[in-house]
Amino acid sequence: MFFEIAGITVPFWLPPLVAFVISFFTSMVGVSGAFLLVPFQMSVLGYVSPSVSATNLVFNLVAIPGGIWHYARVKRMDWHLAWTIAIGTLPGLLIGWWLRVHWLLDSRTFKLFVGVILFGLAIRLLWNKSNPATGVLGVSVSSNDRRMTSISLMALVIGVIGGAYGIGGGSIMAPVLIAVFGLPVFEVAGAALLGTFLTSVVGVALYQFLPAPLGINTRPDWALGILFGLGGVVGMYVGARMQKSFSRRALELGISTVLVLVAGGYVVEYVLDATH
């Protein structure tokens, strides 16, 4: 199947299959899986233009609602936290879009950017030895107003990163909430997914409608994004249902290992290209 905007030919069954496998595991910690789909599209499919970020956001629009619905149905959705994430992240998306279409056009530079972000996420999860009552920054879970203010400020920075990467921000926010603020993964998961969905709606609009530099395509490949999303929506729903069958630490360690491997590959690739 040929995808015109992405400029690639891919078996129609591959995107939904890959998205299902990724989303099954990542949804258990409140992450949509979009952060791993970017490396797959760039390294496996050869899709490296700025529109890959927009296509990733389309995946979120299709894939996330199933997971949100499940967490809401079983009353494991922290609505206040979700809106705090969304409102804090939204202003940063515009800055992130501008960085992606002006400063991160080169595929090598963008891969290095992705590698650094993924490695940072892995470190946060692997070194998550914080006191569950205070978090590694000493932010008391019981001090709700102060905690929400800190989360909003953190979300603003994460929105910039998420807007450039094409993940909405929630995928980065979930590990930060767990590792920095000491929140339990079972409280974070639903809120992070909802926050990611809301910010992805805005992100897609930015990439679709804002003017880009001449000759640069930033519009999403809707067909490819929807195919990824169809696999993701099933994976997220099943993953959300299976969440309690896995321990928090096992989930964190498993996802962190994948992050380190992908990040390491991109950093090594950048270094090797720079030395030749």
- Domain hosting 198: range is 11-274
Residue 2 domain flag = no
Residue 4 domain flag = no
Q: Which of 19-28, 55-64, 191-200, 264-273 comes out lowest in average pLDDT?
A: 264-273
> What is the C-alpha separation between 67 and 84, in angstroms, rounded?
19
Residue 69 domain flag = yes
Instruction: Please check whether residue 124 is in contact with residue 180, taking contact to mean a CB–CB distance below 8 angstroms.
Output: yes
> Strand 8-9 vs strand 2-3: parallel, antiparallel, or unpaired?
antiparallel
Total domains present in the chain = 1
> What is the C-alpha separation between 55 and 124, in angstroms, rounded?
27
Using a pLDDT cut of 70, give the percent of the chain over it.
89
Instruction: Please check whether residue 56 is in contact with residue 34, taking contact to mean a CB–CB distance below 8 angstroms.
Output: yes
**Sequence-ordered list of residues with C-beta below 8 angstroms from that of 256, at least 6 positions apart, any chain:** 121, 122, 125, 126
pTM, whole model, 2 decimals? 0.78
Residue 220 domain flag = yes
Q: What is the pLDDT of residue 18?
A: 95
> What is the C-alpha separation between 51 and 4, in angstroms, rounded?
12
pLDDT of 142 > 50? The answer is: no
Full DSSP string of 168-212: TTHHHHHHHHHHTS---HHHHHHHHHHHHHHHHHHHHHHHHHS--
Mean pLDDT, residues 108-130: 73
Q: What is the pLDDT of residue 55?
A: 94
More confident residue, 257 or 3: 3
Residue 244 domain flag = yes
Residue 6 domain flag = no
> What is the C-alpha separation between 48 and 119, in angstroms, rounded?
20
- Per-residue b or e along 234-264, where b marks 16 or more CB atoms closer than 10 Å to that residue's CB: bbbbbbbeebeeeeeeebbebbbebbbebbe
> What is the C-alpha separation between 46 and 24, in angstroms, rounded?
24
Q: Using one digit for the tens of pLDDT, what is the confidence trace for 74-101?
A: 888 889 888 888 888 888 888 888 888 8
Q: What is the pLDDT of residue 59?
A: 93
Mean pLDDT, residues 113-140: 61
Q: What is the pLDDT of residue 21?
A: 92
Q: What is the pLDDT of residue 49?
A: 86
More confident residue, 178 or 210: 210
* Sign (positive or negative) of CA dihedral 201, 221, 68, 149: negative
Q: How confident is the model at residue 246 (pLDDT cuts 50, 70, 90)?
A: confident
pLDDT of 155 > 90? The answer is: no
Residue 239 domain flag = yes
Q: Using one digit for the tens of pLDDT, what is the confidence trace for 192-221?
A: 888 888 888 988 999 999 888 777 888 999
Name beta bridge partners: 3: 8
Q: List helix spans (H) across 44-126.
A: 51-73, 79-102, 107-126
